[in-house]
Amino acid sequence: MNMKRIIRYSFIMGLMLLSASCYKDKGNYAYEELNKVTIVFAHGEYLSPRAADTLHLEPKLIYKGDTIMASTVADEFTFTWYCNNVEIYTGPVLDYAVRDLTGIRPYVKLKMVNKKDESTFLAGFYCDIIPAYLYGWVVVTKKDNRSIITFIDPATYEVTADFYTTMSGEELGPNVVEVKEHWMAGSGLTNPGNVLIVRNDAAGNIELDGTNLNPIYNTNNFFLGNTLPEDFRPRGEFYMWDYSMMLDDNGNVYTRKHVNNAFSQSGVYPNKPMFIPNGVKFDKGWSGTYLSGQTILYDKTKGQLWLGSDRGLVLPITYMPGPPLPPGITLINDMDKELVYVGKLQQGRFTSSYFLVFFDGTQHYVQKIMVIDQFYTIQAVFMGEAPFGAGNAHAQSVFCQLPRIENYMFYSGGSDNKTLYLYEHGPAISAEYFTFDSPIKTITQSQSEVMGVQTHDQLMVGLENGDLYILGILSDHITDPSKRLIKKIELNEGVPVTTMYKVGFGFTQM
């Protein structure tokens, strides 16, 4: 092909292209206005439902300049809901059980399609599901020589009775003495605390997963060489930042350092008792506040208060030197009365104030101290002591100091120990709060979910006949007795032994 032909053909092609551009456009330019829809979820991009909840969500739509509910345009749009891209529901109002959402952190998405023009709009949110057992009441009862542990939902009061035996296929045995929650200091405040079941028998303590309540550890396995101390039966176990302490019913203490304080169990206990000078043995122990790094120990024989410190030491507590102590008070290093209760005060992460309740056989006294750990010496600031409960508190009385509002302490007493009293430290007055038809065995308060919200709103009272009462303790409950009873639960699982309110995440302890 010569050059002339190339030029000719190129010219023809160019001409054809030019003539094509003259082709008349017959397109439809009668556009309809496209109305954008903005989907708005009231809770934003994150939702924290409880696992037992059912989602009932109707989004708002910003459509044609108005804010309307989705159901009002059900004729115009199709609504399809997805969980992690799997269709789960159709319709403008999502009605779906949380437990049926799939994935670790489900992403729920709504797709709206305009039936007329097929324009599509999307919006979604993440579900941070609160496990069913993250927080709630935990009750241990004893029936037919069995310890039975029960979880009670704090909102619905749904009872999950005897869950340990159901889950593990094993018995707790007859000797559970305490149930408590503990957190891992180094694992972050958003981790749930685990549940520790202290059993006063050679089988050792059990730790349950704080999320699903499955048993995860037996603390007997954390003794040196997997060998238990001689004649060992736990009476208490206390977790601090870096150390744990075990108390047995021979009064011996065992301390261990946590290898990693992000783990709920780490490090081994020596399998021989810790040396405490002068043959001191401990009758009882109480955990200090979360992150206080304190464990209070009581030597009943010598009438002394000791501190298990977060450095693995066990040291006697003495009063801080200063002006003379008021005459006639109960000396914590030389008690002339029995220490029957220690109520910690939780007024911040590291606080270390306690109410000590003494009983001399006829009269109760309550003393407030602050314990200051100075590494090799432990000193207490004396803040006051007052008698209380005259004529109503007695040897069967049980106590419950509100940890965050120090003015209030509840105790049982009266005829057959059937009456609940409220003692106010400030004015030093007691008043009847509620009277039951059976002796009171346990009193527990629910703690604040987040500081300032739901603070001490409820009290659980466990009765000898197996009934549980949830009482309100907010200001309107205190002022109006008719409002105090919130719920009566006929548990029928035996006599309450120990109860607690499981608060869940560590940040609730701040």
Q: Minimal distance in Å, beta carbon 175 to other proteins?
A: 26
- Shortest separation between residue 184's beta carbon and other proteins, angstroms: 16
186 binds other proteins (CB under 8 A): no
Using CB under 8 A as the binding rule, whether residue 124 contacts other proteins is answered as: no
Q: Which of 93, 228, 313, 370 binds other proteins (CB under 8 A)?
A: 313
Q: Is 256 in the site for other proteins (CB under 8 A)?
A: yes
Q: Which stretch binds other proteins (CB under 8 A): 15-23, 185-193, 263-271, 298-306?
A: 263-271
Judged by CB under 8 A, the stretch of 7-15, 106-114, 262-270, 495-503 that binds other proteins is 262-270
Residue 282 found at the interface with other proteins (CB under 8 A): no
Asked if 268 touches other proteins (CB under 8 A), the answer is yes
CB of 340 to other proteins, least distance (A): 30
Q: Who's near 296: CB < 8 A, 6+ residues apart? A: 285, 286, 287, 288, 305, 306, 307, 308, 342, 354, 371
Among 65, 169, 225, 427, which residue sits at the site for other proteins (rule: CB under 8 A)?
Answer: 225
Q: Rank residues 255 and 446 by Cβ distance to other proteins and give the closer one.
A: 255
Only one of the segments 106-114, 158-166, 184-192, 250-258 lies at the binding site for other proteins (rule: CB under 8 A); that segment is: 250-258
Closest separation in Å from C-beta 311 to other proteins? 5
Site membership for other proteins, residue 350 (CB under 8 A): no
CB closer to other proteins out of 122 and 259? 259
Q: What's the CA gap between 487 and 471, in Å, rounded?
A: 7
| Long-range Cβ pairs for the range 310-316 (8 Å, 24+) | 310/240, 310/241, 310/242, 310/243, 310/373, 311/242, 311/243, 311/375, 312/243, 312/255, 312/256, 312/257, 313/375, 313/376, 314/245, 314/253, 314/255, 314/274, 314/276, 315/376, 315/377, 315/378, 316/378
**Which of these segments, 159-167, 255-263, 284-292, 378-386, binds other proteins (CB under 8 A)?**
255-263
Tell me if 272 contacts other proteins by CB under 8 A. Answer: yes
Sign of CA dihedral 275, 281, 284, 289: negative
Which of 269, 282, 354, 434: binder of other proteins (CB under 8 A)? 269
Q: Which residues pair with 370 in a beta bridge?
A: 353, 381
- Kindly state whether residue 257 participates in binding other proteins, applying the rule CB under 8 A: yes
Q: If you compute the radius of gyration of the chain from its CA atoms, what whole number of angstroms results?
A: 32
478 binds other proteins (CB under 8 A): no
- Pick from 123, 161, 224, 370 the residue near other proteins by CB under 8 A: 224
Structure tokens at 425: 């430290």
Q: Is 202 in the site for other proteins (CB under 8 A)?
A: no
Neighbour-count burial of 300, counting CB atoms closer than 10 A to its CB (0-12 exposed, 13-18 middle, 19+ buried):
middle
β-strands 314-319, 378-388 pairing: parallel
Say whether 278 sits in a helix, a strand or coil. Answer: helix
Distance, CA of 79 to CA of 48 (rounded, Å): 23
Separation in Å, CA 362 to CA 162, 326, 425: 38, 21, 20
Residues found near other proteins in the complex (CB under 8 A) = 224-225, 255-257, 259, 266-275, 277-278, 311-313
